[in-house]
Structures are given as C-alpha cells and as structure tokens.
Chains A and B, each alone.
Chain A
Amino acid sequence: MSAFVILLKLMFLDDSKLKFLEQKANDIRKSIVEMLVEARSGHTAGPLGMADVFTALYFHLLKHDPKKPEWDERDRVILSNGHICPVLYATLAHAGYFPVEELKTLRKYGSRLQGHPHREFLPLMETSSGPLGEGLSQTAGMCLADRLDSGATSSRYFYCLMSDGEWQEGSTWEAAMFSAKQGFHNLIAIIDRNNIQIDGYTENVMPLEPFHQKLEAFGWHVIEIDGHSFEEITEAVGQAKAVFGRPTAIIANTIPGKGVPAFEHKFEWHGKTPSEEEGKEALKALRTLGGKIKHED
C-alpha cells in the first residue's frame, strides 16, 4: 500500500469509526463533568464544547503515540486557551497518556493536572497556558524551528487550539501576521467559535465579526465548520493539509456546554462548575444523549 492509500484509509470515516468517535467524545464529556464536580472550580462550557474536536484529533487525525509522548515526529497540539484544559486532560487520559483515574486530581494540591496547564507538572503537554493570546506565537515559533530542521515539506503538523475570545488580544493578531508572512503550510489553528466569554456574548463584549473575512484579510486560508461534526472536522483538516504556503484557520462553530442541555449556549457556564446535583443531572443527560436514548442508572 502506498503512503497515499494509507493516508486515505486513515482519514476515511466509516460508520463504525463514526460511532466509535461519538462514544469516545461522550466518555470524555462524562469525565469532564466528573472532574469539574470533584474540583469544585474550573470551566465547564468550553471543555464540553470542544470535546468533539479533541476526540477527532486524538482518536482520528493526529500522528502521535501515547506510549512515546516524546516521539520527535509527532504532530504537536498547542492549547492556547488553557482554561479549557479539562478537555485536554480528559482526552489525553482516554487516549492512554495517563490513567483516567488521575482526572479526579484536577486542581488539587500536588496534582499534575494544574488548574491551567503547566508543562513542568505534565511534560507530555507541548506548553503551559492560561493567559490568553500566547499559543499562536509559540506554535509559529515551533513551525519555524521545524522548517529549519525539516525543510519546507515537513510532515509534522502543528495544531493551535484557540478560543474566539482570545482574538481580542492584540498579540494574537501579531502572531497571525507573522504566520502569514512565513507561509507555514503545516500550521492549523482551530478556533472554538462558541460566541461566549466571561462577561457575555463576544459580539456584545467586543465584536469579532466579520471574523472569517478578517482572518482571510490577514492572509490565512479559512474554513468554517460545524465543530460537532466529525466528518466536517476531518474534511477541514484534510483541506488544511492540502493548502500550499499558507496557514489555515478552522473556525469551529461550537455550542458551549454541548451535550448537557442545561449548560448549552449559556455564557454563565463559561467559568463555573456544576454542583453535585447539577453534575448528576449532566451525567444523566450525557448517558441518555440528552434524553434521546433510554439508559438504566
């Protein structure tokens, strides 16, 4: 089999793979709710909203090996909006990087799972984050170093996972200009367009629209997708890899709090956690896929 055929096979989503991904995303969401209830502080809406994107990356799209986190040829995932780290931690655990049990230590004294990612505690992450507007610069720096080492046809991909709110930071646009100037073909920014931030809806707090056009005007290839569709996520990443000499921004339209109807679309859930009671209800909603299927408790 040629490498191309293998790639096609890998990228192909059949029904059983789709079901597998849906199940994984659901497991990850359950873990997110459980760890947040246990931690009693943290962010709920963003992690739930990005569970599908993280699942697609770690269980379908990335070149990585949980047994060899330092494998030099791995694709890099740089989480820029560190506050959604519960979804990163839960995905890494479910992918086999560390025991799922450890998720319960989130935000606790001595835990590797710091409230916002700190690489010193969990070196298998690519960076530390929390303060917004810094991930894209680091991703660009990694792409530049990669180009020096591997040349312009490098097959390592650098995924920067970002929030929409952090495009209000000037430094993010500095990084956007720089990435376009450098024409990184292997930089893929996936932006969680969930329209909420701490103080309200993005368009009320500080409008980003016309977001798509702004990114294009900065020299990026821009793809807009439903961030809950595994087909669209896969298709967009495939397209990004085919683009020559330009970085790609995938605007993933997501529903904050996705999977738990009581949390969905509400900016109030940006930075608070479910109580024990709310957590139970949330887990029930996830088990029954929002009441669509029956499930014995």
Chain B
Amino acid sequence: MKINPDQKLNTKLWEVSIEMVPTRTGFGEGLLQAGEENKNVVALTADLKDSTKNDAFAKKFPDRFVELGVAEQNMAGVASGMAAMGKIPFMSSYAVFSPGRNWEHIRTTICYNNVNVKIAGHHTGLSVGPDGGSHQALEDIALMRVLPNMTVVAPCDAVEALKATLALANASGPAYLRLAREKTPVMTTDDSPFEIGKANLLLGADKPQVGIVACGPIIYQALRAAKRLADEHIDVAVLNMHTIKPIDKKALVELAKRTGALVTVEEHQQPGGLGSAVAECLAEELPTPIEFAAVNNRFGQSGEPMELIEHYGLGVDTIMEKVKMVLARKNRSINKYERINGNV
C-alpha cells in the first residue's frame, strides 16, 4: 500500500485528529465563491436554506437567492426557465425530494432541454443517521445517471466538494452533485488534483492485487480497509471515482488491468449506482471479477452514521472481506486458466 504522492493527500490521513467537515460545507463555500466569480450564478432552495448551506450565498446575494417553499417540482422548472435566460442555477434540497420527488421535471425541463442547471442533492447515503430511512437517499445516483445529458459527481470530502462546485459552475449542461450531511474526514487538500471525469488514484501500490473503486466520503473506509489489508500482505489500490458519469474509462480499465479484481464501495443501493457503472464499463472493455459493497435492496433506518455503515455492510471489516472474496475469485480463475493451458 502506497499513498500516491501526486494526490497531495492530507498528511494527517491516518491520524485520529484528521479534520472532519461535511461535504455540504464545501458546497456552500464553493457556491459563494462561484457567485462572486460569476454574477449569473443563482441559488434556489425549497425551504432548506441553512441545512443545504445556501445561507452564506443568500446573505451576500439576496437578489440572486430564490426561496421556493416546499415545492421541489416547481424548483426544477424555475431553474430550467432561469437557465434558458442565461443564468446558472444551483438548486438544493435533500436528494430524496430533489432529484427524487421531482425526477420527471428534471428529465423534461432540464435534461430534455439540455439547460445549464446544477442539482445539489443533499443528505445522501446512510450517514444522514438519526433522521431515518425516509431521508437517506440511496437511489439518487441511479436516478441521475440514467438521464441523457446529465453529469454526476459525488465528492469524497469538503475540499473536493468545493472544487466540484466551482468546476460545475464553469461547465455547461445539467449536472448532479451528491452531498452528505455528516462531518467526514478531509482526505484531500487544496493542492489535490480535481477535474470532472478524471478519477484520482489515491492509493497505488506497486503491484496491487485488488483495486477498490469508490465515491463519496465512504472512501475513507476503503482507505482504512486498504491499510489494514496491507498489514495482512494484501496490496490494494484505491481509486476515487468522484465523477460517476461520464465515468473515467481509461483509469478504470488501467486499474482492472493492473489488478484483475475490483471491489466497488458506495453509500447507495447496489443496482444503478457506481458499482453498476463500473460493471457496465468493464463488461464491455475488460471483464473483471467485481464484488460490490453497497446497500443491498434495503431501506435505511435511524441510528448513528457509523452504526448504520457497519449494519449495511459498508464498514472496514466488510470491505476487507469483499477484497478477499474477489481475490479468491481472481486466483481461482487464474488457476483454472493455467489448468486449461497445461501450466499446472
């Protein structure tokens, strides 16, 4: 296991004292900064100004902040109309409501029109915690990934969320930004690279046996799993696939080539999420054994974030187990191949 020096990761990566900041905070800072850089940036929210971190923008640019009340469908249409007139709307709500409740409005008024609207889906994943399953969006990547014209980004920490927000403000077309409520470790730094559609290899051992592909704050669990696996002499690479659509095919194929076995990790339902995107890509490009660490056909429930992450099979132990499972599959198929070819 080797930290990729090009990534300029937080030097306190493995320390207990690593800074903890929610990705939504990075979004709020990015939104404010985007607003300062471009007067066409406007912010919309459906009665969730503070918890979606729109407050600083609203205070600084009251005319460019739009409060829509509890009406997410209307929010999508209003954002579309503003974009048609040259604005760059960022619309925020909890992901269960937007893009959940208003999915078809997003499809027709934003994607079908191909207008420049950015959808910030907040409170995604299990880490919403005590609010319970109704508020834990575990389907949003699937909902957004399936739409033509849509870009889908799930930043791993607050620093990356800030960069992603600025990058999306400068990119044209519909985009979805997946954000989380809880404080999570700040793994990257201001100097870490970020480019939409370009995955970052955080850990890249010399000869990794397994590659982990992950997105969002849960990547930290993947890093911890990789560290512990190194103690057991299993070398694991970790790829931060922050852009799920368009997926970085090149980085993915390269990792699959180098490792021959992958595990995907995401705070999302297994069907339709990052794991599906990875599997779809590799099925065409380079069929590779994959194990999925994801929520398996269940809704969430109340609890502390880490309790839930363990319960639903996204904790360090489960990720380690999946790595060993996929490694065994790889070895079995190598043995089979060698038997067929008379090498054994």
Give the total number of A-B pairs whose CB atoms are below 8 A apart. Answer: 104
- From B71, B77, B104, B109, residue with most partner A Cβ within 10 Å: B77
Pick the contact of B71: A119, A127, A135, A174 (CB < 8 A): A174
A137 touches B108 (CB 8 A): no
Bound form: Cα–Cα A136–B80 in Å: 11
- Chain B neighbourhood of A128, CB < 8 A: 108-109, 112-113
B77 touches A119 (CB 8 A): no
Binds B, one of A53-61, A144-152, A274-282, A287-295: A144-152
A120 within 8 A of B: yes
Q: Which of B74-128 contact A (CB under 8 A)?
A: 74-87, 89, 104-105, 108-109, 112-114
Name the distance in Å between A151's Cβ and chain B's nearest Cβ: 11
Q: Identify the closest chain B residue to A141 (Cβ).
A: B81
Q: Which of A60-91 contact B (CB under 8 A)?
A: 78
Counting chain A residues whose Cβ lies within 8 A of the other chain, the interface size class is 20 to 34
Q: Identify the closest chain B residue to A135 (Cβ).
A: B77
B42 within 8 A of A: yes
A129 touches B81 (CB 8 A): no
B84 touches A131 (CB 8 A): no
Given contacts A126-B84, A171-B105, A144 and B78 within 8 Å (CB-CB)? yes
Report A168-207 CB contacts with B as 1/0, cut-off 8 Å: 0011001101100000000000000000000000000000
Q: Identify the closest chain B residue to A136 (Cβ).
A: B77
Pick the contact of A145: B76, B85, B113 (CB < 8 A): B85
Q: Identify the closest chain A residue to B84 (Cβ).
A: A142
- Chain B neighbourhood of A170, CB < 8 A: 73
Given contacts A128-B113, A148-B64, A142 and B82 within 8 Å (CB-CB)? yes
A261 within 8 A of B: no
Given contacts A171-B73, A171-B74, A137 and B87 within 8 Å (CB-CB)? no
B232 within 8 A of A: no
- Chain A neighbourhood of B109, CB < 8 A: 127-128, 134, 137-138
B63 within 8 A of A: yes
A140 within 8 A of B: yes
Bound form: Cα–Cα A145–B76 in Å: 14
- Chain B neighbourhood of A118, CB < 8 A: 112
- Chain A neighbourhood of B87, CB < 8 A: 145, 148
A174 touches B73 (CB 8 A): yes
Q: Identify the closest chain A residue to B70 (Cβ).
A: A174
- From A127, A133, A149, residue with most partner B Cβ within 10 Å: A127
Bound form: Cα–Cα A126–B83 in Å: 12
A26 within 8 A of B: no
- Chain A neighbourhood of B73, CB < 8 A: 133, 137, 170-171, 174
B130 within 8 A of A: no
- Chain A neighbourhood of B66, CB < 8 A: 144
Pick the contact of B69: A119, A137, A144, A178 (CB < 8 A): A178
Bound form: Cα–Cα A135–B77 in Å: 7
A149 touches B85 (CB 8 A): yes
Bound form: Cα–Cα A278–B86 in Å: 46
- Chain A neighbourhood of B89, CB < 8 A: 141
- Chain A neighbourhood of B105, CB < 8 A: 134, 137, 171
B68 within 8 A of A: yes
A273 within 8 A of B: no
B84 touches A138 (CB 8 A): yes
Pick the contact of A177: B71, B79, B112 (CB < 8 A): B71
Given contacts A130-B108, A148-B87, A137 and B81 within 8 Å (CB-CB)? yes
Q: Identify the closest chain A residue to B114 (Cβ).
A: A120
- Chain B neighbourhood of A138, CB < 8 A: 77-78, 80-81, 84, 109
Bound form: Cα–Cα A78–B73 in Å: 17
- From A131, A133, A148, A170, residue with most partner B Cβ within 10 Å: A148
Q: Identify the closest chain A residue to B72 (Cβ).
A: A174
Pick the contact of B81: A133, A140, A148, A174 (CB < 8 A): A140
A254 within 8 A of B: no
Pick the contact of A178: B63, B78, B82, B85 (CB < 8 A): B78
Bound form: Cα–Cα A160–B42 in Å: 23
Given contacts A137-B78, A140-B77, A174-B73, A127 and B85 within 8 Å (CB-CB)? no
A141 touches B108 (CB 8 A): no
Bound form: Cα–Cα A118–B114 in Å: 10
- Chain B neighbourhood of A171, CB < 8 A: 71, 73-74, 77, 105
A127 touches B69 (CB 8 A): no
A142 touches B81 (CB 8 A): yes
Bound form: Cα–Cα A127–B79 in Å: 13
Name the distance in Å between B33's Cβ and chain A's nearest Cβ: 19
Known: A138-B78, A177-B74, A178-B68. 14 other contacts (CB 8 A): A118-B112, A119-B112, A120-B114, A127-B113, A128-B109, A128-B113, A131-B104, A131-B108, A138-B109, A141-B81, A141-B85, A144-B78, A144-B81, A170-B73
Binding site for A on B (CB under 8 A): 42, 63-64, 66, 68-69, 71, 73-87, 89, 104-105, 108-109, 112-114
Closest 6 CB pairs of A and B: A141-B81, A137-B77, A145-B85, A174-B74, A138-B81, A141-B78
5 contacting pairs across A/B (C-beta < 8 A)? A127-B80, A131-B108, A138-B109, A144-B82, A178-B69
Binding site for B on A (CB under 8 A): 78, 118-120, 126-131, 133-146, 148-149, 170-171, 174-175, 177-178
